[in-house]
A = this chain, B = another copy of it.
Amino acid sequence: MTLKLYHAEPAANSLKSLIPLKEKALDFESVYVDLHKFEQHEAWFTALNPEGQVPVLDHDGFIVTHTTVINEYLEDAFPYAPPLRPNEPKGNARMRFWNKFVDEHVMNYVSMHGWHRMVGVLARGIESGEFEKMVARIPLHEQREKWRTARSGFSEADLANATRKIEVAVDKVEEQLGRTNWLAGEIYTLADINLFAHLGFALARMFPEIGTRERCPRFLDWVERVRARPAVQAALNMPDHTNPALRTFTGHAR
């Protein structure tokens, strides 16, 4: 059995699939894809994932893309490794409700702020002819548009809407954590991992004005409970090749 994960830095989507592999203690080969060099748009990579996006799971040649799909695949394929899905109807439904919420109402909005702060700086650093050549290699229309917008600058209205979405999400999660210990009930699941990877681990750094003790004490406590898990530590300690000059913009050096 060979399991490979093609991934970038331990943040967002890449972190989201690294954590389950560590939690389930599955042996896997880590293949680092350098997003700074746009390796995800190169032919060898788009042969694996025509969408040109990380992460990608390769299980004995079977390719799985999209983190929510990858993570449920690991549950289906390795049921004997420590489960991260309730595996009973109600718990699964609650987990999938929250996964869907994070995928559709959180991820892209946090991402916009990340791109605004970091990718915009990268994109503006590329000479315009080179930039258009790079963009032309991106398979997904939406990603091409996102790069162009990152270069010209996201609108204030879009950034304000993204902030609003994050506020709604934080308040919704805070309310849920008043009723249950974890997002989907009394056990830690893929839904917690999803929210942690896309928002939780970066909340205090990226949105200190939202992630306050007054507004969301339970959310902040939950972040620390997730972060303290050995598997999560192991995932967060995977190599980070982010250009140090750009870490300011991810909030690491804020």
Residues of A within 8 A of B (CB): 62, 64-66, 68-70, 72-73, 76-77, 88-90, 92-93, 96-97, 100, 103-104, 141, 164, 168
Contacts and interface: CB of A to CB of B under 8 A. Distances in A.
A100 B66 CA distance: 9
A93 B68 contact: no
Contacts of A164: 141
Contacts of A68: 96, 100
Contacts of A65: 97
Contacts of A66: 96-97, 100
Given A69-B93, A70-B93, 18 more contacts: A62-B90, A62-B93, A64-B93, A64-B97, A65-B97, A66-B100, A68-B100, A69-B96, A69-B100, A73-B89, A73-B92, A73-B93, A76-B88, A76-B89, A76-B92, A76-B93, A77-B89, A104-B104
Nearest to A168: B141
A64 B72 CA distance: 19
Contacts of A72: 92-93, 96
